[in-house]
Structure 1
Amino acid sequence: MTVRILPLPETATPPAPDRGLGTLTTDKGNLPLDSVDVHASITGLVAGVEVVQGFRNPFDVPLEATYIFPLPDRAAVTALRMEAADRVIEGTLEERGQAREDYDTAIAAGKRAAIAEEDRPDVFAMRVGNILPDERVTIRIALSQPLPCETDESGSTATFRFPLVVAPRYIPGTPLEGERAGAGAADDTDAVPDASRISPPVLLPGFPNPVRLSITTVIDPAGLPLTEIRSALHVVKEEDDGDRTTLRVQPGERLNRDFILRLGYAGHESASLSLVADGSGDEGTFTLTVLPSGESRPAPRDVVLILDRSGSMQGWKMVAARRAAARIVDTLRNEDRFAVLSFDTVIERPRDLASGLADGTDRNRFHAVEHLATLNARGGTEMLAPLDEGCALLADSTRDRVLVLITDGQIGNEDQILARLEPRLQGVRVHTVGIDRAVNAGFLNRLAAMGQGISRLVESEDRLDEAMELIHRHIGSPLATDLTLHPTGLEIIPDSVTPRRPGTLFPGVPLVIAGRFRGAPSGAVSVRGTAADGTAWEQHANGTIGDDPAAVSIWARAHLRELEDHYAVGGPDDLERRIVDTSLTFGVLCRFTAFVAVDSRVATESGTLHQAVQPVELPDGWAAPHAPRVAHAAFMAPMDAVVPPPAMGYGAAPVPSGPPPAAPSMPGSHPRRGSARTTASVHRTPPQTYPTPPTPAPAPAEPEGKPRKATGTGARGGDTPESLKRARAPFMDELSAELKRLRSVPDDHDQRIAHLLTELLPLLDSLVERMEARRLDTTPLTALRDELRLLDTTSDQARVQGVWSQALQVLSTLTKEPRRPFWKRSR
């Protein structure tokens, strides 16, 4: 076995040992988080990880520290422990509102407490309260994660990726009024209502290493033929101990990039089925892995390539993104059609390929590559509009439709984008290419899964060529589609299988399906589908009894993530209860639950609590701002003001002049008497900006006398907003009632199509007629009605699911029925 350390990417010269611009300090230090230790144990293709966070209070009053941090998006968080003053407190998993209530009650009573909450699949918030002066509190988090694999003729490569910093994210939308959802630096907006929970303040350049980092990884191949280990972004020291290899990251590293190991294995099985029984023996977890072989037959394709050129893509990322896009364009053939969209706050196309889809000729490909070569980073990350346009271009269902997104994924409105795209992705495969050393893997994996595609992450230009070879295979035709599961002698529990619709099998990409079964751990499972040439395809696996204790947690995490995404795009009303029950039953954290640890002993009765938010590093490889963009948000002595990053995130417009905003209250609680937030002021130099993107040409004026099209509120010249609201009210009541009926229909193909055709379609026919008579806008309802008219009882499941999701989205938007945001849960 060979340990191969890849050439490390060039990084900026380490900062001089000073304290950076705007720093305040004393001999006690100036940040509440002083250490992060990651202990990973990789056994076969599963990693068990313990993350240890050390908090210390350098103040002379009790402290509440907040830390916004990442974890792998596929990892199952299964335990939390708090250690302080020779006391050990085990955390319990509770419904999120109850956990917050327990935490706030404990803090108010002077007890030590900690709470961990999930805000994105890979973004978490830790609050630790009533840390006494000079006291150290240790938080231990346990998690399990699967290692994704890719295969080729020589064998398989598994990847262990552990993120270490939450990068600044672009926050679109209009700022909301009222209490903020969290303690982060960005304002909540209508597009990202929890932006203040996912936006930690960022350290100024030149700040000395504030957190001691250690990473230890123990690798046990568990019988697999391990051939090599590659460390992508960190220098590691190797220690061999028989069949196990221990790797340690060199001291002094910063929490500013992902930790990535790639493990090479020789050979692979075609399919395997692992059956792990629960302790009771009545139920268990199955994991089916299919490793595809062979190449697919190419078919004529429509390909839309969308390239992120926003400000956060500066430097090596923009170079790598252009190269990746050009490589994809080069793979196109004459029978293919394509479009290239580059975006920041506006969307641009190659000058000679300005509309529709162009044929994949040499001339058109040359124009596309020529356009790509001119792109540089600028502006904000308005991602929804180009994705929307890309879906609109892929309307021809007779061809193979592919959408490829190249980005770092650093946005905050993931849920908004997924909810908008979900009904439009039926029949469209979505592949994502994430380029960053602190990539938003959670969003890119979610989007690719929704589009039944593949996500590939690129952390350096050295990795790009290897990744592009895989991407080239993926954007071709899949090996098999319309996959279904067929058990033999194994009773699979209904609605437990994840992914719910396996969909597609790609060359070199293992298909992993997990679920729950009843009875004895025995039997077999077949996966059937349609091969690229139209023939039947099948893969069969006999069950083998396994003993992996992490199998149930990893399944539960994947199942919960899928349920949460279903909720985000408008699932039924009972879905929230199902998510909470699943989380609590299997002891796995989700966005609706939280781990809370409360000490029974009262630690302080002073009534004064200092609040500090831990700032994080600017990700490695990001271009440093020319002037301070953010302040150190957790310093020794309280100051008057904090300069937050621009509300719109990295690469947005300058911060307006004027007094800074008041410090927000802590998430999930109200300001407590005697509390003080730790902040520091810096020079109010305007932050870095980017070249202003071209302004779109104004729409041509309408010919005089041409009637104006009805708007979303009505079209009559003398109508006021109140009169229009009254006119629409009875129609909205009917839609609200229908929305409730829609959400109550089971996830069954026959029942859903019957409801769409016999109940929703007649209602829309009636509503459109009556609303048009009142001269009210019916555009979204008319579009939905027209989609319904194209359905019949023979429509396939994918088509019905797409229209069903569209109906939920349209009715939810029109009736403005708010769903209780889970990031503001309280009892």
Structure 2
Amino acid sequence: MDSCGLITGKGQQVPLKNVEVEVQVKGCIAMVTSVLRYVNEEELSVEAVFAFPLPAEAALCHFSAKVAEEEVVAEVQEKQKARELYDDALSSGQQAFLLEESDESSDIFRLTVGSLPPKTSAAVTLIYVIELKVEADQGLRFCLPAVLNPRYAPSNIDTANVPQVAGVPSSAVPYTLSLRVLITSPIPVSKVESNCSLEPLTYLNTARTQAKVSLSPGHKFDRDVELLLYYQEAHRPTAIVEAGLKNAKPGSLMGDTVVMLSLCPEFPPEVTSSFGKRGEFIFLMDQSGSMSGSSIRSAQETLLLLLKSLPLGCYFNIYGFGSSFRSFFARSVEYTQNTMEEAMRKVEAMEANMGGTEILKPLENIYGQAYLPNHPRQVFVFTDGEVWNTKEILDLVRAHAPSHRCFTFGIGQGASTALISGMAKEGRGIAQFITSSDRLQLKVMQSLSLALQPSVVDISVKWTLPEGVSVTTLSPPLNVLFQGQRAVLYAQLTGESSVSNEGTVALHYSLAETPVTNQLSFCLKPAEDTGLAVHRLAARAVIQSLEREEREKKDASLREKVVELSVQAGVSSAFTAFLSIHKGSGQPVKGPLLKRALPVAQKRECAGINLNNVYFGWSGALDRSGGCEEVDGAYDDPGVMEFGCRFTGCEEVDGAYGDPGVMEFGCRFEDFLETDGHFGSGAEPYVQKESYLELVSLQKAAGYWDMNTDLLNVFSRTEEELVQQKPRQVDSAVWATVLALIWLHGFKAAQQEEWRFIAMKATSWIQSQKVGNLSECVQAGNALLGCQVKEECLGL
């Protein structure tokens, strides 16, 4: 009875029925209101436990519970005190609700609904605010996480307080989600895109500065809901000035005015288009079991692109990690044709067979190696982010931030925002999240472009304010700036001025040994009411800084400061919790409450193949006579099938198979390698390499191609055709390289961001050959391949 809570064929139920979410977006800030509705359909009182993810950057600022017609707003209290009061309330017959952040990871919360009487309903409301991050294409990304993957806990982690998460296939998640988004912006809204089905975007005014959109009806809360919001002219600096609470203590954060500045530095074109030839690039690839199937294949293709895109003269190494780790080379090696080919052979042999996700040890090994003079270290981390020692990892990355940059990639549903975003933030890099609809290669090459930019140094911020107004910076000091990326600063403004209502902030930094200044002027008069969203985001930034400092110094006074600010601002922290207590029957509870763990959609693995929220579409039990294995004496999980079965041996139910040929995210059964009529246990899916990836794999480290049979196959041309069209006195490698460039521009223009550095290397190599009849080469290449690519488009 203590472990139930899953939907099974035996009819056991959980009390969470549906989740309603309303998102109010104002510029680059989102306020998210979630209502979770519970119904206890059992005959006895229950205690429902629901562990769920929230973005690590979110400031959770409201929690209330409504039982019958009575609603009580929770108060923020010191965590241990809140737990004790919760237990006392239950023992005295009261209903209580406790919401707390995980001790180990700031993106996991645990909601405990205590003493919910039989046949009683309850509605829990929680509100958080979050700053929306800018993607490379200038879209603002909002993600409502739904999937909570099992977190790998190293042996030194105490898992006593780790929330035990019940996982079910997406088809068996017993509650639904409705989501509405209202967008208000001074800039017109262009469009909204999502990985889920949306109702049409509706504009609420002719200026298109207000709009609304919602999920299509019937959505199952079985995957992360990702929205990309696009504004016209989004890439410009902004300032939001917000008034404090009138009844708050003067001089306190909540009593003073707070300003949120979004600065968008513009780098000179000669810097952004330059192709650096120095650097040490280390690629840390997750090879744990959860990366199997399409994830590891995509990772291999990505490493191929990265290896081909690196400049001659740099250094590199590749690590694979799981429960243990191994590196391709004992230490980073110079990038040459030989080392590149050796690395490529090892990449092709990579498998997701290294057990759990232990990322701390390989990072310690990387940081323990001597740094190469004049070759700044750039670490690229690829993982689905399932660890419990997140804070320990972030502390390690921060300790080595002065000597390296860290770029991170969260792969698939449920990747930990605390880990992925935290490592990039502490390591002065950029975080990217790759969901099922994204192309990993594109985002990785975008990050490589940033990594090849010169480091911005000597960053400082100077405020110019009228007399009578002073400023206290609330954000940590800026330590990284990238072209196209937004830098956000929070500051507290104390006092008033009768002279002027205008302030100025100047951002100074050095780029490629050249001093640069960006300046923004803003009005000190507070804008319209923003619901204290800016204050709470600023408070969250201060709290996270204090928490990091407390972990380093183990200073009790810092912990007290966190609790004080958390209570004052009504914002969650690692040391506080939200507690709501309702009057109950007044009768002490006799014996333990029945505990029901609520399930979330979760990654599943079967026979070594990652099913990652995949279900097969059958609506009933599987026919054992066809080779499908019975599990635990019952077919109580119809959404998952054992590999090793013949698909033809599965029983038709209700006259239909649903759509057995298509999995949830577009994978098909034929992706899996068939052996003797069976889909063998643990077989890796077979996918033919894309023609353009085949072309990329044939490029030499120096940037050129040799003319050979494999290249002819990519072009779909015969050797005779190439010889006939080749201009006189043109070297075979030059001819092959010109054709490769024309083919990329002519047939793969949509993926140009991925092969941009590959083309730059090829162009530089051709120019170094001092070809006399280059225009003739381009003309002949166009004629041969049936393209119309101009010479200037090739960069020649």
Corresponding position: 1:325 with 2:287: no
Q: Which residue of 2 aligns with 1:590?
A: 573
Query: Given that residues 290 and 352 in structure 2 are in contact (C-alpha distance below 8 angstroms), is that contact kept between their aligned partners in structure 1?
Result: yes
Q: Which residue of 2 aligns with 1:616?
A: 599
Could you say if the C-alpha distance between residues 358 and 284 of structure 1 is closer, same or farther in structure 2, counting changes exceeding 3 Å? same
Cα deviations across residues 56-81 of structure 1 (Å, max 9, x unaligned)? 21222211111101112211111111
Rounded to whole Å, the distance in 2 between the matches of 1:272 and 1:617 is 38
Corresponding position: 1:23 with 2:5: no
Cα deviations across residues 600-648 of structure 1 (Å, max 9, x unaligned)? 343654524433242424436x54468999xxxxxxxxxxxx99xxxxx
3-state secondary structure, aligned to 1:558: helix
3-state secondary structure, aligned to 1:576: helix
Which of 575, 578, 582 in structure 1 is aligned with 2:561? 578
3-state secondary structure, aligned to 1:505: coil
Query: Given that residues 237 and 263 in structure 2 are in contact (C-alpha distance below 8 angstroms), is that contact kept between their aligned partners in structure 1?
Result: yes
Corresponding position: 1:135 with 2:120: yes
| Shift in Å, 1:565 | 2.5
Rounded to whole Å, the distance in 2 between the matches of 1:106 and 1:478 is 58
TM-score by length of 2: 0.69
Q: Which residue of 1 aligns with 2:202?
A: 240
Query: Given that residues 299 and 400 in structure 1 are in contact (C-alpha distance below 8 angstroms), is that contact kept between their aligned partners in structure 2?
Result: no
Map 1:413-492 onto structure 2 (within 5 A). 413-460=389-436, 462-478=438-454, 480-489=456-465
Q: Which residue of 2 aligns with 1:315?
A: 293
Could you say if the C-alpha distance between residues 517 and 328 of structure 1 is closer, same or farther in structure 2, counting changes exceeding 3 Å? farther
Q: Which residue of 2 aligns with 1:214?
A: 178
Map 1:737-752 onto structure 2 (within 5 A). none
Corresponding position: 1:272 with 2:238: yes
Q: Which residue of 1 aligns with 2:503?
A: 523
Rounded to whole Å, the distance in 1 between the matches of 2:25 and 2:96 is 31
* More displaced stretch, 249-258 vs 43-52: 249-258
Q: Which residue of 2 aligns with 1:223?
A: 186
Q: Which residue of 2 aligns with 1:497?
A: 474
| Shift in Å, 1:253 | 3.1
Instruction: Give 5+ residue unaligned stretches, structure 2.
Output: 612-631, 634-679, 684-796
Map 1:680-699 onto structure 2 (within 5 A). none
Q: One-letter code of the match for 2:379?
A: L
Q: Which residue of 2 aligns with 1:111?
A: 94
Which of 264, 284, 298 in structure 1 is aligned with 2:257? 284
Corresponding position: 1:201 with 2:166: yes
Cα deviations across residues 229-253 of structure 1 (Å, max 9, x unaligned)? 1112x11112525244333323443
Which of 126, 130, 141 in structure 2 is aligned with 1:145? 130
3-state secondary structure, aligned to 1:223: coil
Q: One-letter code of the match for 2:520?
A: A
Q: Which residue of 2 aligns with 1:759?
A: none
Corresponding position: 1:535 with 2:514: yes
Could you say if the C-alpha distance between residues 606 and 289 of structure 1 is closer, same or farther in structure 2, counting changes exceeding 3 Å? closer
Q: One-letter code of the match for 1:98?
A: K
Query: Given that residues 391 and 425 in structure 1 are in contact (C-alpha distance below 8 angstroms), is that contact kept between their aligned partners in structure 2?
Result: no
3-state secondary structure, aligned to 1:462: coil
Query: Given that residues 277 and 312 in structure 2 are in contact (C-alpha distance below 8 angstroms), is that contact kept between their aligned partners in structure 1?
Result: no
3-state secondary structure, aligned to 2:505: strand
Map 1:2-21 onto structure 2 (within 5 A). none
Query: Given that residues 147 and 159 in structure 1 are in contact (C-alpha distance below 8 angstroms), is that contact kept between their aligned partners in structure 2?
Result: yes
Cα deviations across residues 518-559 of structure 1 (Å, max 9, x unaligned)? 12374211111211x212122111123433331111111122
Cα deviations across residues 183-212 of structure 1 (Å, max 9, x unaligned)? xxxxxxx32x24642441223x59634112
TM-score by length of 1: 0.66
Cα deviations across residues 316-366 of structure 1 (Å, max 9, x unaligned)? 22222223333322221112111111112232333xxx2211112233223
3-state secondary structure, aligned to 1:256: coil
| Shift in Å, 1:160 | 0.8
Cα deviations across residues 265-291 of structure 1 (Å, max 9, x unaligned)? 232454333332313486221212111
Q: Which residue of 1 aligns with 2:30?
A: 47
Map 1:113-192 onto structure 2 (within 5 A). 113-119=96-102, 120-150=105-135, 156-173=138-155, 190-191=156-157
| Residue correspondences, number | 585
Q: Which residue of 2 aligns with 1:740?
A: none
Could you say if the C-alpha distance between residues 60 and 230 of structure 1 is closer, same or farther in structure 2, counting changes exceeding 3 Å? same
Query: Given that residues 110 and 607 in structure 1 are in contact (C-alpha distance below 8 angstroms), is that contact kept between their aligned partners in structure 2?
Result: no
Cα deviations across residues 147-190 of structure 1 (Å, max 9, x unaligned)? 111356xxx211111101221111111xxxxxxxxxxxxxxxx3
Q: Which residue of 1 aligns with 2:325?
A: 347
Query: Given that residues 408 and 430 in structure 2 are in contact (C-alpha distance below 8 angstroms), is that contact kept between their aligned partners in structure 1?
Result: yes
Query: Given that residues 458 and 464 in structure 1 are in contact (C-alpha distance below 8 angstroms), is that contact kept between their aligned partners in structure 2?
Result: yes
Which of 327, 330, 335 in structure 2 is aligned with 1:360? 335
Rounded to whole Å, the distance in 2 between the matches of 1:126 and 1:618 is 17
Query: Given that residues 180 and 212 in structure 2 are in contact (C-alpha distance below 8 angstroms), is that contact kept between their aligned partners in structure 1?
Result: yes
Identity among equivalent pairs (%): 22
Cα deviations across residues 457-480 of structure 1 (Å, max 9, x unaligned)? 111263324423421222212462
Rounded to whole Å, the distance in 1 between the matches of 2:470 and 2:298 is 44
| Shift in Å, 1:421 | 3.9
Query: Given that residues 478 and 504 in structure 1 are in contact (C-alpha distance below 8 angstroms), is that contact kept between their aligned partners in structure 2?
Result: no
Could you say if the C-alpha distance between residues 330 and 555 of structure 1 is closer, same or farther in structure 2, counting changes exceeding 3 Å? farther
Cα deviations across residues 422-468 of structure 1 (Å, max 9, x unaligned)? 32332211111111121111111111111111111111263324423
Instruction: Give 5+ residue unaligned stretches, structure 1.
Output: 1-18, 174-189, 630-641, 644-687, 692-827
Rounded to whole Å, the distance in 1 between the matches of 2:154 and 2:5 is 30
3-state secondary structure, aligned to 1:393: coil
